[in-house]
Amino acid sequence: MSRRTLAQILAVAGARYLIAPARADDNPSEADVSREAILRDPATPTTGNPKGDLTIVVFFDYNCPYCKQSEPELMRLVKTDGRIRLVYKDWPILTEASIKGAQWALAAKYQDRYDEAHYAMMAIPGAKIPAERMREAIAKAGVDMDRLDADLQTHAGEITALLRRNLAQADSLGLQGTPAYIVGQYRVTSALNYEGFKRVAADARAHAAKN
């Protein structure tokens, strides 16, 4: 699925994929793509140290095997470093099931279970994972599925708007695929291991110290 296809789905917001109807005045091209919005959108899920001295933004898809490969390495850095604020940008560009996975994860945030839903889907190996398997993984992770479905209905407009912003921000950065990371002033567009993440984090801090 191309980014154009995703944009069309988000624009139409058909009932098969998204619950929230698009508003006539809701133009994705007008989304805030400033650096501050990318780093600190209040609706975007975050983890790590909220007062950390370095923010890492990750654009990912639940059907991206490279995202899944690098996820444990990135989380290892976040935990061992202790001074990193990690920002999750759900960017479901690979399959239609990816969109459902992103919706469910973002809906789980309203019961403070985004991390559980996120890790459950990222732990499923491979690509082209069907939506049903993603949903089963979320349920096994302890997410209240009745509450999730209710929150998806109630907050559909907010979830749709967030996915549109993520898409617009990725486009503004010239990103071509997942995974993609913004580490301070640096952009990384490939999966890294722990040492790779550690090195780019150190470079980002060194750059910040000089400016």
Q: List residues bridging with 188 in a β-sheet.
A: 181
What residue has token string 């559909």? 156
Mapped to the 3 state alphabet, what secondary structure does the chain carry? Answer: CCHHHHHHHHHHCCCCCCCCCCCCCCCHHHCCCCHHHHHHCCCCCEEECCCCCEEEEEEECCCCHHHHHHHHHHHHHHHHHCCEEEEEEECCCCCHHHHHHHHHHHHHHHHCCHHHHHHHHHCCCCCCCCHHHHHHHHHHCCCCHHHHHHHHHHCHHHHHHHHHHHHHHHHHCCCCCCCEEEECCEEECCCCCHHHHHHHHHHHHHHHHHC
Q: Distance from first CA to last CA of the chain, Å, rounded?
A: 40
Q: List residues bridging with 89 in a β-sheet.
A: 59
Record the pTM: 0.87
* 6 pLDDT tier (thresholds 50, 70, 90): low
Quick check: 28 pLDDT over 60?
A: no
| pLDDT (0 to 100) of residue 29 | 52
| pLDDT (0 to 100) of residue 16 | 38
Q: Give the tens place of pLDDT for each residue, 70-121.
A: 999 999 999 999 999 999 999 999 999 999 999 999 999 999 999 999 999 9
Quick check: 3 pLDDT over 70?
A: no
